[in-house]
């Protein structure tokens, strides 16, 4: 089976642009040479992201948790991802195109959706894509298992550290972020 993508990055970007014009509910990504669509977030998903914005603002006010910021996740294939949250210095994406350079990103966040692609997309493909892009940390809020997984220390295309804990435990953030966040309030929005 060929590992070549059936679509170029340029073709994907045009398709994503057109899909956004046709329907606000379509959120396309291009990870590992494959076209994917993200589910439109539900209210609980939105509450988790809102709570994380507040928590990070209190922890590091010079940073901002951007929602839906498109990122280039190059790896060995030119990819494009739209994480649920991107922690980076405030204002860093001003003047950037839809698919921004990931260099200033400190952390990406994904909150699982209740759809059939969540396992493959959020738990398999995205940790690999974000590690290959050398994003320092990836936080997965898993609403199905009521756990969070923090991936950190990207090296050789993989995260070297993976820590999974139940939602409600303290989230200890690695450098360059530092500090910790109590995840207890997230319990209100998971199954």
Q: Please provide the DSSP assignment of 45-73 as one string.
A: HHHHHHHHHHHHHHH-TTEEEESS-EEEE
Helix (H), strand (E) at residue 138: strand 137-142
Res 188: pLDDT: 92
Rounded CA gap, 184 and 87, in Å? 20
Res 62: pLDDT: 97
The structure's pTM equals 0.81
Q: What is the DSSP letter of 167?
A: B
DSSP reduced 3-state for 44: helix
Interacting residues of 71 by C-beta distance below 8 A, sequence separation 6+:
80, 81, 82, 83, 86, 99, 100, 101, 102, 105, 108, 133
- Region of residue 33 (phi > 0: left; psi between -120 and 50: alpha; otherwise: beta): left
Question: Domain-by-domain residue ranges, the chain?
Answer: 41-189
Rounded CA gap, 87 and 67, in Å? 9
Q: What is the DSSP letter of 189?
A: G
Res 3: pLDDT: 47
- 191 residues of the chain, pLDDT tens digit each: 344 556 676 777 676 666 655 556 556 666 666 666 666 677 898 999 999 999 999 999 999 999 989 999 976 457 888 899 999 999 999 999 889 999 999 999 999 887 666 656 777 788 999 999 999 999 999 998 999 999 999 999 999 999 999 999 999 999 999 999 999 999 999 97
Fold of the domain spanning 41-189: tt1808, chain A (3.90.1570)
Res 36: pLDDT: 66
């Amino acid at each position: 089976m060929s590992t070549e993508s059936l679509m170029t990055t340029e073709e994907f970007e045009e398709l994503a642009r057109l899909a956004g014009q046709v329907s606000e509910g379509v959120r396309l990504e291009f990870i590992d040479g494959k076209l994917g669509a993200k589910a439109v977030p539900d209210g609980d998903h939105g509450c988790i992201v809102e709570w994380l914005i507040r928590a990070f603002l209190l922890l590091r006010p010079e940073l901002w948790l951007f929602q839906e910021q498109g990122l280039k996740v190059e790896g060995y294939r030119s990819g494009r991802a739209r994480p649920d949250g991107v922690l980076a210095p405030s204002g860093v994406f001003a003047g950037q195109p839809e698919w921004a350079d990931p260099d200033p990103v400190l952390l990406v966040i994904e909150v699982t959706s209740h759809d059939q692609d969540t396992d493959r997309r959020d738990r398999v493909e995205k940790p690999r894509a974000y590690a290959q892009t050398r994003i320092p940390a990836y936080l997965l809020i898993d609403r199905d298992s009521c756990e969070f997984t923090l991936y950190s220390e990207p090296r050789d295309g993989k995260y070297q550290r993976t820590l999974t804990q139940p939602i409600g435990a303290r989230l200890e953030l690695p450098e360059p972020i530092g500090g910790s966040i109590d995840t207890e309030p997230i319990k209100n929005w998971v199954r």
